[in-house]
Structures are given as structure tokens and as C-alpha cells.
Chain A
Amino acid sequence: MNEKHTKPEKAVQIILILISVLFITVMLIFPLFSVIINALKKGFSFYLSALSTEYVLSALKVTLLATGITLLVNTFFGVIASFTLTKYHFRGKQILTTLIDIPFSISPVIAGLSYIMLFGSLGIAKPLLDRIGAFLGTDIQIVFALPGVVLATIFVTFPFVSREIIPVLNQQGSEEEEAAALMGAGFFTIFRKVTFPHMKWSMIYGMILCASRALGEFGAVSALSKTRGQTFTLPLEIDALYLSGTADSIVASFAVSSILVLISILILILRNLFEYRAKKG
């Protein structure tokens, strides 16, 4: 009985493993390898010069800036949202929890377009923006400018941090906080000493996911960024290089891509490290 059962199962197991390995190799590893190989096709000095053009350096700067701000904003709001949604009871809590996940279910391009509808020259919020700008004596540009790129990146990566923290806090319950409050601890002491240690690792894990997505975001940013060398991020620059179609520019686009691939590998390693910590608690 036992033998009959395990033999076919073993075969199924091997077949399934083979399929997975084959799929991952063909779909993920090969393409990534080809990026690196193509990037170095014209030699190392070409590779370096392709990376140090004005456009690429600007794109790198914009990408890092957008990712950095996104990380700060989304971590801050992600932590606040997770705390509020798990430690307090209030009406509409369920709706809020669902709303947080909107970026996951909406195409990034639509997110970008929605900002154009809001802040663009025909946008609903444009008059208000102009008035604030007049008051401050400047011209506030969001769409097709850096703020737009940052906003779009924030939008698409908003749920990452809170999604990692919420389950952890939910599982923890709120009795530790109640115990601390009964002993006279104030909000910030309770947060710092009791709640934060619970969420620390999952927060870091969420931040890593958030950063890797922010670095690679294309759709939402593409809708809001039109000026190469000013508001272009790395993915947009890669796209632009590739589309210009000369032999050199195509190799250059692979060279720029290789930066993102390397960052991804780094993030993958960090991710594994912190995922383990987050699970362990």
C-alpha cells in the first residue's frame, strides 16, 4: 500500500521539479544572462562610457531620488497605517484595509494618467495648485516634472510596507500594548518599546520589496515623465536607448539595464536575509 503510493508520487515530484527549473531558467535566468552578455558586447570601455553619458547619469539620479523619497514616505505611512488598522477599532476599518491595496489591482499606467487628470493643465486640482504657487511666488509643476515621477512611484509601491506589517501585528494582538498602557506608559513609549520590535523585521522586508519595485517602475512613471535627461528614470532611459535603434544605443541600453539587474540581485540577497529574520521574528 505504502509502496504503491510513494512510487508514482516520486515520479510526479521529479517531473514537477524539472518543469519548474526549466521554466525559471528559460523565462528568468537566460534573459538576465543575455542582458549582461549584450551589455559587454562592445568591450568594457564602451560599457563604462555608455553608463557615464549625461542622460544615464541624470536618469540614475532621478531613479535614486524617487526611490529614496518613496521609501521614506511609504515606510512612514505604511507603519502608521498598519498600526492604526491593527491596534484600533473604528468604523470603516475594513474599507480602509481594502483601499490600501488599490495600487496592486490597478494598472500603473492608469495611476499615472489619474495624476494627469488631477494635476495636469486641465486637471481638477490645477487651479488650487496655481493658487498655492502664486502665493508662494513659484510655479508648481507636478505633471511631467520630478514631483510627478515621485508621486507615481509612491502610488504604485504604497502597499508594500503595510502589507508585510499588518499580518504580524494582527497575529500579535494588542494585549502587550494594553499591559503597557495599564502600567502608565504613553503612546510613544508603547510604540517604541512594545510594538516596534514586533514589526521591525517585517518593516525592513517590506522596505526592500518597496525599493525594488520603485527602482523598476515603468508604466506609471512613463505616463508622467516626458523629458529625457531631466525627468527620465533608468527604465525610461533604457527604453529610449533601445528605441533609438542604432547598434551602439542598443548595446548601451543593455549596459544600463545591467545596473538594474545588479541592483536586483543585491536586493534578492538582502530579501532572503531579511525574509528569514522577519519570519523568525
Chain B
Amino acid sequence: MYVQLEDINKTFGDYKVSDHISIEIEKGKLVALLGPSGSGKTTILRMIAGLETPDSGKIFINEKLVNDISPAKRGIGFLFQNYALFRYMTVYQNIAFGLKVKKIPKKQIRERISELISLTGLDGLEKRYPSELSGGQKQRVAFARALAPEPDLLLLDEPFAAIDAKVRSELRSWLREMIHRIGITSIFVTHDQDEAVEVADQIIITNKGRIEQTGTPKEIYKAPQTPFVSMFIGNPTIIKDYWKLQGFEKGNYEGAIIRPEFVEAFKSDNARFHKFIDCSDEGIITDILFRGNNLELKLDVGGVILTAHRSLERRPVSIGEKMRVIIYRIYAYDNEKTYLLENEELLKRDVDNTHLEAYLYSKEGYMIV
């Protein structure tokens, strides 16, 4: 393990920001710390960097206990949330700072910087001051500055938060590609699940100072372990009386979560579904949102508003229209865990796996992760 946190605790006043945190990160991985704002992500990052001291617990970097090692000696590059570029230095001076401090010969500094400038596509901006750069350019400078002293571990705090939504996704793939090309172990903080899923090899989900779950994006998505994760990931609707839906029975659960992709809404004359029509509930369309490449339907099913996606290739629907609604599966939860429940009626009817041929839904992934 390249980075290892062992039972870290940290309080600010009487507020517990880190509650028995243990994390292991493999060398070369790009890991996301994902959680709502205030869940203690930045604090974890700052403790790894040595900018904050844990009350108890151990931090290892490359098998070495670093608790008592100064931030400068931990071999870390850090991207602050607002970049923290040196305001009174040019782009060149910003990137050169860490190299100058290390007393590296001028010629080598110049070579390293021109290498970084072209790597990050900042050519021609060397003489500009941070106030003369766009958000994306600032991020690139911060990235080049953090990488200049050749750190072994890169920490990024909300690297996309201060960037226009329009260029954000472009920068996401840029950063991901860049980090993989350099092969540096990286941890980035985000509160945006799309960002984590899109960029990270591995996701660590934080909530109220605790780690809720660790896994690949797919694992987190397909097998949420705790109620919090199932409610945080995907685009969930939370319902209490899930047993009122066709195909689900009351169990010892607190409630259930339904994601849009678990919901099939079709017109009652749809031939493909007529075999299953008695597994369906009635749903009335309350809203239709155009989502670029598909429609998002809001359906009132027995008083619960569910969300379903609908291909633009299918027949048009309108608000107020009565649809039939099948729920393939739900995530039921109690106080501690999440349980995947399949639609019993559908399963019973599916002795010969016909629903797979009928494109009803694919079970792949939901049972086997």
C-alpha cells in the first residue's frame, strides 16, 4: 500500500471531523474521496499532507510512518481548492518556486519548466500573473506547480469546483489522462458523484467524518453497502411503503431506494410488455424533462413520485397520461445495510430467462459485482 491511514481521529473543538478513519491506497491509483460538503474530506487530505495533525492514528506513505515528518519532506504535491497560486508571481515564477527552494541549478529549472509548460499546454502564458488567467488555466498552473518538484503523491482538493461547468468535463478527462500518463498516485476530493465516477479508479465515500464504503466506481454503483451510499449515489428516490409496489413484499426494512434505471414505464398497449402487465402499477406522468439524449419522466405511482428515463425513439408521451410501471428492483435498507431486492413477480415468471431476450432488463452486474 502506498498511502495508509490507520484509525485516524481528529476533532475541531468538539466537532469530530475524522472518526476512526482507515484508508489504504495502492501505488499508481487515482482515488476519489467522495462525500457531501462538511464530511471531512479536505481534513483527510490535509492530514496526509501534514498541514493538519491527527489527534490519534497513524499515517504511512510508502511504508514509512510520516506523523512526525514535516509537510515539505513527505514528497507531496498539493492542489488547493482555489489553487492558491502565488498572486504576485508570474506563471513561470509560480512553477519555478518549488525548484528554486530546492536550490536546483537555473538551467535544470528552465528545462523542467518548459517540459511542464508544454505538458500542461500553457505555452505563451509564462509571463502572465494569476489574475490574468481563466479558471482552467489557473488549474493547469497549479497542477504544473505541484508537479514541478516531482512529488510521489498528488493531492487535489475539489480540483474542478472553481471551473465553469462548460469546460469542467473537458478538464476532467484532461486531468485523468495526465495523471495516468505520469503514473503518479493521486487522491482527489470531490462532492460530485459524476466527477468521482468519471475520473477515479477507486472511490472512498465519506460521511460525517466516517468512511462509508470503498470500491471501484462500478462496485459503489452496483453494490452500495450502507443506507447513506445508496441514497448518495445514483439519482435515487427514497420511499417508505415499497411493499405497495407490485413484486415486492414487506420485510424488516426501514425503506427503499429506487433509481431511474430500475423503472420501466410503458403504454398499456405495448405488445412487448403485455405478458408482464399484471406485474405493473399504474403511474400518471406529472412532468417530462428533456435531457438532451433522452426524456426524464416523473411518474406518480400510488402517491410516490418516481423518475424514469425514456428513449426519444419511443412513442411520444404527455403529461397526465396513464402509464404502466414496472420496478425491476429496489435497494431496501435498514439502519446499517443495504439489500438488493429483485421484483419477485418478474423472477417467478422468468423461469426460462425470457425477459433477457425481451430486453426487459439485464441482471448482469446487480448480482455479480
Residues of A within 8 A of B (CB): 172-173, 175-176, 178-185, 189, 193-194, 197-198, 281
A26 to chain B: closest CB distance in Å?
44
Decide if B97 touches A178 in the complex (CB within 8 Å). Answer: no
Decide if A183 touches B97 in the complex (CB within 8 Å). Answer: yes
Known: A184-B98, A184-B101, A184-B102. A179 touches B87 (CB 8 A): no
A150 to B14, CA, bound (A): 47
Decide if A193 touches B84 in the complex (CB within 8 Å). Answer: no
Residues of B within 8 A of A (CB): 49-51, 71-73, 76-78, 80, 82, 84-89, 97-98, 101-102, 145, 149
Chain B residues contacting A182 (CB-CB under 8 Å) are: 49-51, 71-72, 76-78
Decide if B88 touches A189 in the complex (CB within 8 Å). Answer: no
Choice from A173, A175, A181, A194 contacting B71 with Cβ under 8 Å: A181
Q: A184-B72, A194-B88 are in contact. List 7 more A-B contacts (CB 8 A).
A: A176-B86, A178-B78, A178-B80, A180-B86, A181-B71, A183-B101, A185-B97
Decide if A181 touches B80 in the complex (CB within 8 Å). Answer: no
Chain B residues contacting A173 (CB-CB under 8 Å) are: 84
Chain A residues contacting B78 (CB-CB under 8 Å) are: 178-179, 182
Tally of A-B Cβ pairs under 8 angstroms: 58
A197 to chain B: closest CB distance in Å?
4
Decide if B72 touches A193 in the complex (CB within 8 Å). Answer: no
Known: A184-B102, A193-B97. A179 touches B84 (CB 8 A): yes
List the 6 closest pairs (A to B, CB-CB), nearest first: A183-B98, A175-B84, A197-B88, A184-B72, A179-B84, A185-B101
Decide if B98 touches A176 in the complex (CB within 8 Å). Answer: no
Most buried by B among A175, A179, A180, A281: A179
Ordered by A's residue number, 27 sampled pairs between the chains whose C-beta atoms are within 8 Å are A173-B84, A175-B84, A176-B85, A176-B87, A178-B51, A178-B84, A179-B78, A179-B84, A179-B145, A181-B71, A182-B49, A182-B51, A182-B72, A182-B76, A182-B77, A183-B97, A183-B149, A184-B72, A184-B101, A184-B102, A184-B149, A193-B86, A193-B89, A194-B86, A194-B88, A197-B87, A281-B87
A185 to B50, CA, bound (A): 15
Chain A residues contacting B89 (CB-CB under 8 Å) are: 193
A179 to B85, CA, bound (A): 8
B1 to chain A: closest CB distance in Å?
22
Chain A residues contacting B101 (CB-CB under 8 Å) are: 180, 183-185, 189
A186 to B139, CA, bound (A): 25
A185 to B89, CA, bound (A): 15
A63 to chain B: closest CB distance in Å?
36
Chain A residues contacting B73 (CB-CB under 8 Å) are: 184
Chain B residues contacting A180 (CB-CB under 8 Å) are: 86, 97, 101
A281 to B88, CA, bound (A): 9
Chain B residues contacting A183 (CB-CB under 8 Å) are: 72, 97-98, 101-102, 149
Chain B residues contacting A184 (CB-CB under 8 Å) are: 72-73, 98, 101-102, 149
Most buried by B among A178, A183, A193: A183
A198 to B84, CA, bound (A): 13
A198 to B85, CA, bound (A): 13
Decide if B84 touches A176 in the complex (CB within 8 Å). Answer: yes
